[in-house]
């Protein structure tokens, strides 16, 4: 593709002075204008002479005055892409007195009159002290002055949510409010009855416990919020190409200042408001700003305005930044938008339903307990600490009645607190936040939370080749000129006219650039890996001088490369004799189809007959079979051009002359083959979709392990995009599972494949890097964009950004996805075990004896262990190799599997049996008082949960201790829980309503709780059915429903029959 900047307007100073605004200025103004030009020109010449930079290749110095623009004409046109001389420092030390508001308003309002008044883009560049070719100086002083005057390219965000926000949010929970009301009433009655020194214990204890739960929950949410803010900053930190001091360099979008010259290519986000400097075929998608879906054409004359937040849809250009940050419409809009961290993932939605169902059960049990306890109390069946009836009819004081009722209500509410699995959403949040942080370290940036969990269900990954499976480090290793392999022929034997055509085709038909520092002879190349490889080869092997090419030829028209055409073209005119050449560069077999002649080494042109075409196809196939990417260069000389220039708008594609074919080697990444094997062993199928030809695709796929020996022989494993596209829908659905490689594919083919796979019920992950990949990335269940080669459009359409463009990182994301899902299942098993045990124990004890064995404070402590600490312990396990040895979960598998039901019911039944035994027979068995027995129940119940946390680590494996030493957080939480439990029992007796336990009693509690380990080990030998456990209940319910329906029908038919008979009789 032709480089930007071949056209620079030249001005005749005398003409401008005489003609610009002649009708509007007086003679005095004209004289002042001439004097101003003379003085400014003298200053420029003087400063240049002092710096000894007056030379033939010196860049033009531009001056600005509000009334006119004057540019000294350089001896030659100069292209921005190549710099062989050092850029002289600007003679200016201070920015001119230009009003930023007027500049901003001109662009925002597309003010063409104001634009012309400024002297067009050249005048604006002069006013901003910018060399359009070399950009700003870019030193620290220059950037600081520009930032101080025009602002930075940032915008203020709404203040982040603080701890108080999350504390306030936690207080909105209805159960927490009821508990606080109960605590307040209990505190009041207690102080009134027992005095301030003793009466505050029960109510105060509930207050402390509630605030502890709220604080932990708020801190966890605050940590998640900060994690999301950090990731948001990273994802918004886009890198852009700018020219500073004559050098093309990448900087952060936040570092752009007014006056920067920015390079724009297809898929780029426009980083600030500005003006079109130079470029070709630029079309911009402004839908994010205007809502209009049609692309807007941008050029120097009709529409030079570019807006921040828009996307480049086609072409390429350079822009001059005129306003940044809050001075842009995009900045104003974004400053009022805060990131929504309340995004609900599919798994969270399923857990919300589960939480709601369990909550309803808990609410029912709590209501029954409340009714039973109230009935028993008012019937006089409950006794106080001294053995007396608590309720004696009218003899009982109102305060005592209210106090007892409040305690009963508090007990019922705490049952609700324990029954409602509030820890489930917290567990999901923690595991997602933790996994997002870890995935960032593993080169994967999550943009959408749902992708974390959905990736664990992926059944197929459709991957690109270049840069994902390969290193994206291109190097020209083969060169064919005509039918001669130039590896054995020196380049100096090539005809000079052929060499010149090659230099034109490479140096002018490119989006890359060449930079040569003044200090040394080492060239620096920028652009895509393919462009850099070909430019490097042409400079070093063919002696290409890009600067000379820019001076010798003018670029007329450019057709940019995209993945549909797989080629780019340029038409150029030689300045000396006005001859026009059209050059094409692209996929070898596609360019070959456009050719009817070819050159030999000696410069002889030959007609391309059928034999010659077949020979070239064999050459291409041979290179492709060696995993080389084949690029062909062709040209055509056009002798005449219409005066209206119509021929420049559409490049000639017929009867070209083939110049040569180069082969670029891009080696496979080292860990790709192993990563592909891991994915296959996990039951995930890999399909490679590439734009390369079928032979290159097959060679790379075989090298990476995607295409096995059986697949190579199997018909239908490798197809071309056009073939797949032309199948009928039925044929595609039939053959799609057999396809392993799709070559010469377009973005539409990739989208079509994703749609077909989803219709087959597959969970599809897709990688993509181009703007045209956006539809497929959005359509896929998980869109994976490339962080290095990916365009901003592709990144915005994706769910996860692979920061190193490596397929190994894609496999890592798959591991993390499965880990997230598995961690949440572990916590669900642990949580439901406690729910079932606590509900049954409290209900049975309340109904049978009228007492709840666990007090409100004790229940809240269990809730804290169960919800927050349990979530932290189980939700932070790292991925293991065993996760990648299971089949994918898919779309329809239930969240609570039969294995989980088996494990949790076994543990829950054991806990229920032990604790009810202690409740009814503990005092006699251990010969202890009621208070000590209640403490034994509380201590045993908590320790059972601690031991069961180990069981929950492995859902299927007997060895629950495997890898436990690697999860230091888990061990720390277990230790912390045990220490807190000792403090609760031994040191906070009045707060927790407990009694001191002897060493023997502690050992007894630990021994009873430890039995859960052998139970967990034994129960895992019990086989389970593949059919979902709840499916049996559903079928039973459906069967019962059918029986009831038939019974109802039979009764109604009997009723209808008797009615009919009655009517007949009457």
**Catalytic residue annotation:** 464
State the CB neighbour count (10 A cutoff) for residue 732.
18
State residue 633 phi and psi, 5-degree precision.
-120, 130
Could you write out the three-class secondary structure of 648-709? HCCCCCCCEEEEEEEEEECCECCCHHHHHHHHHHCCCEEEEECCCCHHHHHHHHHHHCCCCH
In angstroms, the CA 215 to CA 217 distance is 5
Residue with tokens 């108080």: 164
Give first-to-last CA distance, the chain, whole Å. Answer: 98
Write the DSSP assignment of 205-264 as a string of letters. Answer: HHHHHHHHHHHHHHHHHHHHHHHHHHHHHHHH--EEEEEETTEEEEEEGGG--TT-EEEE
The DSSP bridge partners found for residue 767 are: 784
Residue with tokens 């082969």: 663
In angstroms, the CA 58 to CA 731 distance is 64
Please name the residues in contact with 523: beta carbons below 8 A apart, sequence gap of 6 or more: 514, 515, 516, 536, 539, 540
Q: How far is CA 14 from CA 64, 121, 1005, in A?
A: 16, 21, 102
- Tell me the H-state helices in 51-111: 100-108
In angstroms, the CA 787 to CA 801 distance is 6
Question: Where in 384-509 does DSSP place strands (E)?
Answer: 444-446, 460-463, 475-481, 484-485
State the CB neighbour count (10 A cutoff) for residue 868.
23
Element containing residue 511 per DSSP (H, E) = none
State residue 631 phi and psi, 5-degree precision.
-120, 130
Q: How far is CA 955 from CA 795, 824, 881, 883, 951, in A?
A: 36, 11, 15, 12, 8
In angstroms, the CA 308 to CA 325 distance is 9
Instruction: Find out whether 247 and 85 touch, Cβ atoms under 8 Å.
Output: no
CA nearest to 920, candidates 906, 942, 908, 937: 937
Could you write out the three-class secondary structure of 22-61? CCCCCHHHHHHHHHHHHHHHHHHHHHHHHCCCCCCCCCCC
Three-state DSSP at 894 gives: coil
CA nearest to 447, candidates 175, 455, 1033, 19: 455
State the CB neighbour count (10 A cutoff) for residue 1017.
14
In angstroms, the CA 808 to CA 771 distance is 23
């Amino acid at each position: 593709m032709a480089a930007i900047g071949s056209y620079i307007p030249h001005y005749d100073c005398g003409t401008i002075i005489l003609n610009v605004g002649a009708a509007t200025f007086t003679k005095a103004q004209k004289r002042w204008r001439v004097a101003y030009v003379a003085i400014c020109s003298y200053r420029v010449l003087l400063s240049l002479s002092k710096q000894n930079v007056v030379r033939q290749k010196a860049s033009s110095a531009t001056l600005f005055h509000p009334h006119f623009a004057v540019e000294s004409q350089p001896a030659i046109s100069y292209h921005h892409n190549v710099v062989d001389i050092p850029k002289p420092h600007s003679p200016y030390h201070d920015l001119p007195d230009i009003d930023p508001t007027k500049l901003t308003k001109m662009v925002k309002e597309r003010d063409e009159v104001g634009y012309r008044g400024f002297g067009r883009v050249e005048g604006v560049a002069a006013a901003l002290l910018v060399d359009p070719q070399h950009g700003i100086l870019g030193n620290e002083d220059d950037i600081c002055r520009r930032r101080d005057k025009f602002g930075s390219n940032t915008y203020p965000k709404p203040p982040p949510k603080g701890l108080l926000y999350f504390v306030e949010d936690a207080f909105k929970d209805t159960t927490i409010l009821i508990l606080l009301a109960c605590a307040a009433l209990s505190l009041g009655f207690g102080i009134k009855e027992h005095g301030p020194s003793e009466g505050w214990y029960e109510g105060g204890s509930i207050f402390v416990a509630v605030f502890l739960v709220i604080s932990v929950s708020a801190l966890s949410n605050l940590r998640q919020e900060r994690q999301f803010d950090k990731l948001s900053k990273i994802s918004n930190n886009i890198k852009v190409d700018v020219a500073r001091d004559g050098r093309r360099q990448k900087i952060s979008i936040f570092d752009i200042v007014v006056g920067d010259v920015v390079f724009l290519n297809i898929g780029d986000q426009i980083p600030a408001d500005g003006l079109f400097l130079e470029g070709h075929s630029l079309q911009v998608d402004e839908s994010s700003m205007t809502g209009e879906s049609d692309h807007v054409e941008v050029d120097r004359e009709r529409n030079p305005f570019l807006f921040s937040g828009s996307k480049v849809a086609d072409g390429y250009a350079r822009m001059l930044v005129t306003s940044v940050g809050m001075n842009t419409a995009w900045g104003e809009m974004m400053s009022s938008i805060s990131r929504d961290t309340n995004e609900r993932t599919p798994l969270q939605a399923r857990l919300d339903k589960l939480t709601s169902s369990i909550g309803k059960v808990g609410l029912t049990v709590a209501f029954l307990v409340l009714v039973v306890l109230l009935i028993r109390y008012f019937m006089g069946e409950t006794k106080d600490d001294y053995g007396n009836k608590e309720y004696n009819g009218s003899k009982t004081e109102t305060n005592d009645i209210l106090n007892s009722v409040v305690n009963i209500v508090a007990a019922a509410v705490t049952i609700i607190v324990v029954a409602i699995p509030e820890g489930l959403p917290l567990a999901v949040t923690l595991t997602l936040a933790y996994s997002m942080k870890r995935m960032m370290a593993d080169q994967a940036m999550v943009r959408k939370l749902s992708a974390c969990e959905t990736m664990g269900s992926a059944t197929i990954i459709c991957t690109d080749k270049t840069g994902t499976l390969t290193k994206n480090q291109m190097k020209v290793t083969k060169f064919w000129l005509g039918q001669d392999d130039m590896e054995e022929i020196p380049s100096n034997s090539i005809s000079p006219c052929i060499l010149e055509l090659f230099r034109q085709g490479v140096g002018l038909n490119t989006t890359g650039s060449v930079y040569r520092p003044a200090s040394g002879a080492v060239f620096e190349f920028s652009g895509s890996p393919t462009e850099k490889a070909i430019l490097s080869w042409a400079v070093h092997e063919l002696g290409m001088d890009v600067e000379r090419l820019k001076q010798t030829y003018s670029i007329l028209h450019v057709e940019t490369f995209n993945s549909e055409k797989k080629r780019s073209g340029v038409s150029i005119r030689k300045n000396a004799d006005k001859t026009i050449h059209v050059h094409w560069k692209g996929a070898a077999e596609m360019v070959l189809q456009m050719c009817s002649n070819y050159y030999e080494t000696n410069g002889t042109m030959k007609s391309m007959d059928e034999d010659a075409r077949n020979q070239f196809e064999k050459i291409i196939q041979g290179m492709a079979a060696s995993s080389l990417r084949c690029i062909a260069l062709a040209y055509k000389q056009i002798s005449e051009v219409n005066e209206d220039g119509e021929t420049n708008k559409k490049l000639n594609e017929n009867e070209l002359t083939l110049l040569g074919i180069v082969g670029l080697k891009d080696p496979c990444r080292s860990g790709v083959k192993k990563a592909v094997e891991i994915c296959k062993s996990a039951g995930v199928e890999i399909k490679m979709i590439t734009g390369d030809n079928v032979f290159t695709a097959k060679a790379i796929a075989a090298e990476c392990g995607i295409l096995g020996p059986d697949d190579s022989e199997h018909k239908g494993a490798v197809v071309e995009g056009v073939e797949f596209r032309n199948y009928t829908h039925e044929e595609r659905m039939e053959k799609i599972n057999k396809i392993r490689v799709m070559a010469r594919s377009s973005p539409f083919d990739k989208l079509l494949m994703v749609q077909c796979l989803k219709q087959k019920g597959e969970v599809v992950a897709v990688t993509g890097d181009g703007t045209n990949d956006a539809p497929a990335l959005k359509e896929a269940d998980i869109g994976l964009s490339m962080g290095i080669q990916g365009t901003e459009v592709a990144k915005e359409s994706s769910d996860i950004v692979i920061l190193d463009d490596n397929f190994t990182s894609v496999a890592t994301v798959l591991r993390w996805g499965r880990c997230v899902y598995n961690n949440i299942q572990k916590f669900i098993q642990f949580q439901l075990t406690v729910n079932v045990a606590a509900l049954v124990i409290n209900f049975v004890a309340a109904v049978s004896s009228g007492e709840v064995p666990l007090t409100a404070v004790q229940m809240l402590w269990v809730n804290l262990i169960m919800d927050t600490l349990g979530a932290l312990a189980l939700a932070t396990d790292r991925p293991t190799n065993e996760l990648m040895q299971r089949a994918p979960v898919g779309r329809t598998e239930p969240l609570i599997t039969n294995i989980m039901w088996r494990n949790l019911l076994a543990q829950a039944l054991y806990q229920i049996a032990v604790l009810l035994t202690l409740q009814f027979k503990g005092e006699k068995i251990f010969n202890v008082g009621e208070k000590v027995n209640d403490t034994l129940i509380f201590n045993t119940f908590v320790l059972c949960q601690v031991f069961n946390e180990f069981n929950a680590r492995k859902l299927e494996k007997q060895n629950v201790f495997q890898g436990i030493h690697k999860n230091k957080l888990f061990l720390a939480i277990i230790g912390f829980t045990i220490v807190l439990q000792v403090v609760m029992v031994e040191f906070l007796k009045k707060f927790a309503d407990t009694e001191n336990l002897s060493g023997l009693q502690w050992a007894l509690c630990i021994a009873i709780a430890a039995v859960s380990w052998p139970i967990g080990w034994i129960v895992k030998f019990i086989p389970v059915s593949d059919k979902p456990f709840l499916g049996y209940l559903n079928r039973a319910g459906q069967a019962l429903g059918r029986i009831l329906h038939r019974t109802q029908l039979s009764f109604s038919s009997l009723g209808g029959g008797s009615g009919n008979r009655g009517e007949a009789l009457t």
